């Protein structure tokens, strides 16, 4: 089986190196020919995942046609803002039976679409063979083969199981879930709450504050998810609370670190310029804020983080406004297709 990983950032590199342990023909495509050459020679991606050795048989290339032609499984691991152009770029080189997996966690700016929707639009002939991989997965730990659980979502069980089979290793356990909407929204929206958790930490607040943000953050993620057609139970799983926990607390999280910089008074623009790595939560906040307005869903934490990122509000004021907003109930049950969900 030929597998291609498109995008040689931290996540693409970690997943390619994992797949290279299991499959004979694995290609890792980097946009930069220098990076591809250096990875091929040194067996390291020192720019994005230093300290992780790439398996000998992994082929690193910047030739897109070489990477994808004849592949049976293609993993798109660029940042979410590059997924549309990446899907468009691979399209002419594809064979019919290929499965495309999105590893990106974000929503498209302007359209607010999920990544599998974007891919299906660009490669319509494969719309029923597109899946999303998500969960509490930091590249730095997967690259070092630390026990990790992940979830693959696809409308077709056969597609989800094919991806599950391709990725399963003793240190990487993959579950399937038919709820593509919930899995993708969980992965994209937790980054917003992680910005808040980092900001709270940067302001000197402790564990109570972080727990409150994570719990109420999950409530608003589930509220929007429900409105957009997700199964609310997905948010109790790996792509929901699992990823929220890891991103809000891990030293590896770029979104959490970005939040800490917000607390120091840095702007979103300054934070992006300070790192070569993507901070998905910044764009996701804009998308979620617009979605919450059009769906008339209350997302107070997202709204405050939006105002900090895009309107210059101070994180301290945002915390005060969250704490002093009108009183409300914690749990409101709603019935949805026979499932009891919490609002």
Ligand X SMILES: O=P(O)(O)OC[C@H](O)CO
Binding residues (CB under 6 A) for ligand NAD: these are: 7-12, 31, 48, 77-80, 82, 85-86, 103-106, 137-139, 277-278, 280
190 assigned binding-site residue: yes
Out of 113, 190, 313, 327, the active site residue is: 190
Which entry of ligand NAD, ligand X, none binds 255, CB below 5 to 8 A by partner kind? ligand X
CB under 6 A: which stretch of 17-25, 119-127, 130-138, 207-215 binds ligand X?
130-138
Positions 185 through 214 that interact with ligand X (CB under 6 A)? 191, 194
Query: How near is the Cβ of 139 to ligand X at its closest, in Å?
Result: 7
7 assigned binding-site residue: yes
Which entry of ligand X, ligand NAD, none binds 112, CB below 5 to 8 A by partner kind? none
Going along 36-120, which residue ranges are E strands? 59-61, 73-76, 99-102
Query: How near is the Cβ of 78 to ligand NAD at its closest, in Å?
Result: 4
212 vs 277, which CB is nearer to ligand X? 277
CB under 6 A: which stretch of 12-20, 36-44, 124-132, 134-142 binds ligand X?
134-142
Per-residue tokens: 252? 């590896």
Rounded Cα distance between 29 and 330, Å, is: 47
Rounded Cα distance between 277 and 77, Å, is: 13
237 assigned binding-site residue: no
The DSSP call for residue 54 is P
The 10 Å Cβ neighbour count of residue 81 is 15
Rounded Cα distance between 68 and 244, Å, is: 33
Q: Are strands 73-76 and 172-177 parallel, antiparallel or unpaired?
A: unpaired
Per-residue tokens: 211? 């727990």
The 10 Å Cβ neighbour count of residue 251 is 8
223 binds ligand X (CB under 6 A): no
48 vs 167, which CB is nearer to ligand NAD? 48
Query: How near is the Cβ of 296 to ligand X at its closest, in Å?
Result: 28
Q: Cβ contacts of residue 274 below 8 Å, gap of 6+?
A: 261, 266
Query: How near is the Cβ of 234 to ligand X at its closest, in Å?
Result: 15
Which entry of ligand NAD, ligand X, none binds 194, CB below 5 to 8 A by partner kind? ligand X
The 10 Å Cβ neighbour count of residue 325 is 12
Rounded Cα distance between 291 and 196, Å, is: 19
Which entry of ligand X, ligand NAD, none binds 136, CB below 5 to 8 A by partner kind? ligand X
Which entry of ligand X, ligand NAD, none binds 106, CB below 5 to 8 A by partner kind? ligand NAD
Picking from 106, 153, 102, 100, the residue whose alpha carbon sits closest to that of residue 123 is 100
Rounded Cα distance between 50 and 275, Å, is: 15
Positions 300 through 329 that interact with ligand X (CB under 6 A)? none
Q: Are strands 339-342 and 333-336 parallel, antiparallel or unpaired?
A: antiparallel
Per the annotation, the verdict on 190 as an active-site residue is yes
**Which parts are annotated binding residues for substrate?**
105, 254-255
Q: Which residues bind ligand X (CB under 6 A)?
A: 105, 136-138, 191, 194, 243, 246-247, 252-255, 280
Catalytic residues, by residue number, are 190
């Amino acid at each position: 089986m030929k597998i291609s990983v498109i995008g040689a950032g931290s996540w693409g590199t970690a997943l390619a190196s994992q797949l290279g342990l299991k499959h004979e023909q694995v290609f890792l495509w980097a946009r930069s020919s220098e990076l591809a050459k250096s990875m091929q020679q040194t067996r390291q991606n020192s720019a994005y995942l230093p300290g992780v050795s790439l398996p000998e048989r992994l082929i690193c290339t910047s030739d897109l046609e070489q990477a994808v032609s004849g592949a049976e499984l293609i993993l798109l691991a660029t940042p979410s803002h590059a997924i549309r152009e990446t899907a468009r770029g691979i399209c002419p080189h594809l064979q019919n039976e290929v499965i495309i997996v999105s590893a990106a966690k974000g929503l498209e700016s302007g359209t607010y679409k999920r990544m599998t929707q974007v891919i299906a639009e660009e490669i319509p002939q494969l719309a029923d063979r597109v899946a999303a991989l998500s969960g509490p997965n930091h590249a730095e730990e997967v690259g070092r083969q630390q026990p990790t659980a992940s979830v693959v979502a696809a409308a077709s069980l056969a597609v989800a199981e094919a991806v599950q089979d391709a990725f399963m290793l003793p240190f990487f356990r993959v579950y399937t879930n038919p709820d593509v909407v919930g899995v993708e929204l969980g992965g994209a929206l937790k980054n917003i709450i992680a910005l808040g958790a980092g900001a709270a930490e940067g302001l000197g607040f402790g564990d109570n504050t972080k727990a409150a943000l994570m719990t109420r953050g999950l409530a608003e993620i589930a509220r929007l998810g429900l409105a957009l057609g997700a199964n609310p139970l997905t948010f109790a799983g790996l792509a929901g609370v699992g990823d929220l926990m890891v991103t809000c607390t891990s030293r590896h999280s770029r979104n959490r670190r970005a939040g800490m910089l917000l607390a120091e008074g840095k702007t979103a623009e300054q934070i992006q310029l300070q790192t070569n790595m993507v901070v998905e939560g910044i764009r996701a906040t804009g998308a979620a804020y617009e979605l919450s307005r059009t769906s008339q869903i209350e997302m107070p934490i997202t709204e405050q983080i939006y105002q900090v990122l895009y309107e210059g509000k101070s994180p301290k004021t945002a915390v005060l406004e969250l704490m002093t907003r009108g009183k409300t109930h914690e749990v409101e049950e709603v019935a949805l297709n026979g499932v009891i969900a919490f609002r």
